[in-house]
Structure 1
């Protein structure tokens, strides 16, 4: 067996299942805030494109590189969204369709890490983090190096990374906007990270799957920063339709960036057999070519956050994030909170400890929970009201009440 398998920790939702397995909740419909799976209505134009193309290409193997029409649609959207110079993003060399960012974020570590090299043996990642980053590092024969997120900024202090750590690093995962804090990195910080990655020979993998769910204007993308340097060297940007277009079941996204890295990534994925079915490619073209459904989705998420402020603001520190659809409040012991809430109201949320590791003497998730506002507006309001009732009735709730820090 691959020895890295023994190093993998249980996935957060398996840990949550074990935490709640002996709890008997009340006879209320379950409200599930635990998983970041958008359950909003899929865009009609995407459903139509999928249905119309179901018979397309069933008699032939799909290409790992994807159809030219899909890569061109992705290049057009990316160039518009991030204001890239004409021709900067070559759809034949700088874009690779992938089966969702999860698959690609895992596979890129297997591609760029040399397990036989001790010098470049670290993979840097934020803490809390998307657990795929950690698993990818371990199964590639590398060692995760956790960068604790600052409670104020919601992102790691990347400038505090010692040069000795940079020198030993092969890959840096960045998540902007960040899951679960919702904090996005600005252009100045991204530019500094691009410079450091090139200086130390580190692949900069920027997970931007939440970049289209924003509330104060679009977050800066790493491709915009790279364009200002005139080069895509060392830079990879990962995007997904799961969050942007609320179609997680399609497993569709792309990675764009350094053509030399993508050439090797294509080779790896060709052997892996990771090709997107033709009907998913057709649906994806429709999604990347339309913005109207994305605008309406943002409006819906904004209404959910407004409801969270109104319903929970007297008890919890509810902040509007730069992007994403998560609440990340302090609640004391996150596991105890999740268990008690489930027992009292049949509402599931995820303990923050399941999304982080203790590192450098701190555990940045222990006293928090993640609440994913991914259901319908009615379902989210129902769940938020149950959380409010739980907090109202919790014996020690008064000691946890905080002034709302709502930022409009």
Structure 2
């Protein structure tokens, strides 16, 4: 029997956090879990209603989605991202963004001898996707400094998970131009784009970045954070029509279909800005409270100008910080989950309820 595919992969990082979770859970007032960053607020009523109204869906959905969904996707990409001339061929729904990230290199036909690049501090699934197909994972500080030989795919992530760093319009423009010059495909993970605080994130699909053409670029978007739909697995990609056409063919064979009720819910979610603004306000308040409490407690916050996390340090090994906060009943993610360069930071999510955030602030005071 050949070696198990799982042998190519790193240890699932969250398993390492279990003993610290037990410590935090033993706090008399219970755990404040700021580690994973999962939404906790209700799914907005209009989205729930759209899901329920489409519940009688006995037939198979299509991988490309309904015409109504594609209209919603193209309309949102133009309205929110400033993209121009976005056709149905430029959009494709996916079953949550994580499966897309993990399986994209495989679906692109990459393998041994190919390189997949991603930021030095990054969401671990970029590396996992490369390893699943046997490609070589490569980290970067600036992708334009990479050797383009064998480089097939660059992942951008702005706003960044875990650091919250935002790439400027000029940086994005320079990276896209370099990638096109060297015939390297760019996938830009923009799942936190609507959660800019101290900066205004820009999409690679903006004409100032891409010149009004989507050749060689694709943006990844999710409704998990903006609309509290992590449980719905609602996401999509937009950009290069030729790349999306190839992925559509492959995903049809693979049966990678967004459920019909989720497609209907996505249409409702993308058509309403009010719930997004309300959720932003909740997160802004929690962010401000946690940031002030952490800084008063001696932490330093770096980057964190966008996304749902504070990138915090006490200038000590990250696991010491995790253990220290666990004794206060607060669970956070160690920075080395996102690469060795994060080994003196922790990622603090502000996705807990107001009550739990208040509890964390009290414990830090």
TMscore range, shorter length: over 0.9
TM-score, normalised relative to structure 1: 0.84
Question: How far, CA to CA, are the matches of 1:124 and 1:324 in structure 2?
Answer: 21
TM-score, normalised relative to structure 2: 0.93
- CA gap of 1:279–1:6, structure 2 versus 1, over 3 A, is same
| Alignment check: 8 A CA contact 2:20 2:323 kept | yes
Partner of 1:295: 277
| Alignment check: 8 A CA contact 2:124 2:337 kept | no
SS in 2 for 1:243: coil
Q: Deviations over 1:285-331 (max 9, x none)?
A: 00000111111111111111221233222211236733111011112
Partner of 1:112: 108
SS in 1 for 2:35: coil
- CA gap of 1:336–1:217, structure 2 versus 1, over 3 A, is closer
Q: Deviations over 1:146-199 (max 9, x none)?
A: 12xxxxxxxx3334x14xx22221111111000011011111111111111111
Partner of 2:125: 132
Residues 152-301 of structure 1: pairs in structure 2 closer than 5 A: 156-159=141-144, 161-162=145-146, 165-216=147-198, 218-225=200-207, 228-301=210-283
Gaps of 5+ in 1: 148-155, 357-362, 390-408
| Alignment check: 8 A CA contact 1:25 1:345 kept | no
| Alignment check: 8 A CA contact 1:113 1:142 kept | no
- Residue 281 of structure 1 deviates from its aligned partner by 0.7
Gaps of 5+ in 2: none
Question: How far, CA to CA, are the matches of 2:142 and 2:180 in structure 1?
Answer: 19
RMSD (Å) for aligned C-alpha atoms: 1.9
Partner of 1:49: 50
Question: How far, CA to CA, are the matches of 2:44 and 2:137 in structure 1?
Answer: 38
| Alignment check: 8 A CA contact 1:226 1:235 kept | no
- Residue 234 of structure 1 deviates from its aligned partner by 0.8
| Alignment check: 8 A CA contact 1:178 1:184 kept | yes
- CA gap of 1:172–1:2, structure 2 versus 1, over 3 A, is farther
Asked if 1:66 corresponds to 2:59, the answer is: no
| Alignment check: 8 A CA contact 2:207 2:213 kept | no
